[in-house]
Amino acid sequence: MTEIDANIDGLVPAWLTLPDIAEELDIEVTRVRQLVKEGQLIAVRRGENRVLQVPADFIKDGKVVKGLVGTLTLLRDDGFADEEMLEWLFTADDTLPGTPAQALRENRGTEVKRRAQALAV
């Protein structure tokens, strides 16, 4: 869980607090904290109160977006910090098209994972 810089904060279109995520996933907040601790979600402190928040695009239809956990694992294995992962996931790529986060939400995770693997080379 890291502080987020203003540039990366601006890339992410919407954020949810941990209680919001718990409600979306129909689980306890403690389980959301465990998902963050295990690296299945990225939470950062933002706002005046430094509340932990997760990008809203990581949740769809009451579940963690398919392919997100594997992509985060690949990026972490490539040496990316949480902030760098957020920047990569939410920076537009004309060849994708859109952002990697959008591609994951649109069930185009195979291409996103391929690109994440290529970063290690």
pLDDT of residue 121: 61
**Average pLDDT across the chain, whole number:** 92
**pLDDT (tens digit, 0 to 9) for every residue of the chain, 121 residues total?**
455 677 888 899 999 999 999 999 999 999 999 999 999 999 999 888 889 999 999 999 999 999 999 999 999 999 999 999 999 999 999 889 899 999 999 999 999 999 998 887 6
pTM of the complete model? 0.90
Positive or negative: CA dihedral 49, 105, 36, 84? negative
Give CA separation, 49 vs 18, 54, 93, 99, in Å.
14, 15, 32, 29
